[in-house]
Structure 1
Amino acid sequence: MTTHEDTAALIRQMQECFNSRQFDRAADLHTPGFYSHPLGATGFAAGRDAWRMLTARYPEIRVVAQDILVDGDRAAVRSTVEGITSGAAPELFEIFRIDGGRFAEMWGASTGFRAAASPEDVVG
């Protein structure tokens, strides 16, 4: 069973892959059958493409986990988004299902982005 510390470390490792633009390294953190509900896609390739789109549009974008709550094989994460000029401080809310120490499934939403600038709008 994956511990809270293992899950928190996995989330921070994924965020570091995003923040350092090491997108291919992040693929190893996901199961082959990983499913992104926001993207409606199986596999991490769609997530990697979404990350590339976001960082191309916002070269200074960074995510920083503020809260990580773990319950069994699920983790809820509230992250602040830095590097985007916006009226309010943007935040991401994500829920992950972990399987074998890797991300198996993800749900997500965001708030605080200006119109047409949220991750859902950029990649949707």
Structure 2
Amino acid sequence: MTTREEANTLVRRMHECFNTRQFDQAADLFTPGFLNHPLGAIGFEAGKEAWRTIVAQFPDMRVVADDVLVDGDKVAVRSSVEGIAGLDGDVRPMLIEIFRIDGGRFAETWGVSEGPDPRL
């Protein structure tokens, strides 16, 4: 079972790696067989490539966790997206992600977003 403190630390480290563009440093946060359902990919490389693509389009983009909820080995995260305009210019983009944690690392994710699609 994952504690709230462990989940917060893991999410904070992932966001720090994204926000500072130190994508390679995030690799140790994910299991080798990490399953990314939104991208339909296994492993961290596809997610890292999606990160590179979206920050190329939105260089000022930052992600900030607003809520982190823990239930067993699952962690739900609602995050604000800063540095880009909303869909209609008035609604801030956001992410809702659910992660499964195994051995202190992200093992699987599901997610939805409002705003730009990182797979573009």
TM superposition score normalised by structure 2: 0.94
Counterpart position of 2:119:
123
Match of 1:110 in 2: 113
Q: Identity, % of aligned pairs?
A: 62
Output the CA distance in 2 between the equivalents of 1:2 and 1:67. Answer: 16
- Unpaired segments of 5 or more residues in structure 2? none
- TM-superposition CA deviations, 1:4-45 (whole Å, max 9, x none): 101111001000000000100001100000000000000000
**Ranges of 4+ aligned residues in structure 1 off by more than 3 Å:** none
Q: Does 1:98 align with 2:101?
A: yes
In 1, Cα distance between equivalents of 2:3 and 2:96: 21
- Aligned residue runs from structure 1 range 18-29, under 5 A: 18-29=18-29
RMSD over equivalenced CA pairs, Å: 0.9
Aligned residues: 117
Deviation at 1:85, TM superposition (A): 1.8
On the 8 A contact 2:2/2:70 being kept in 1, the answer is no
Q: Equivalent residue for 1:50?
A: 50
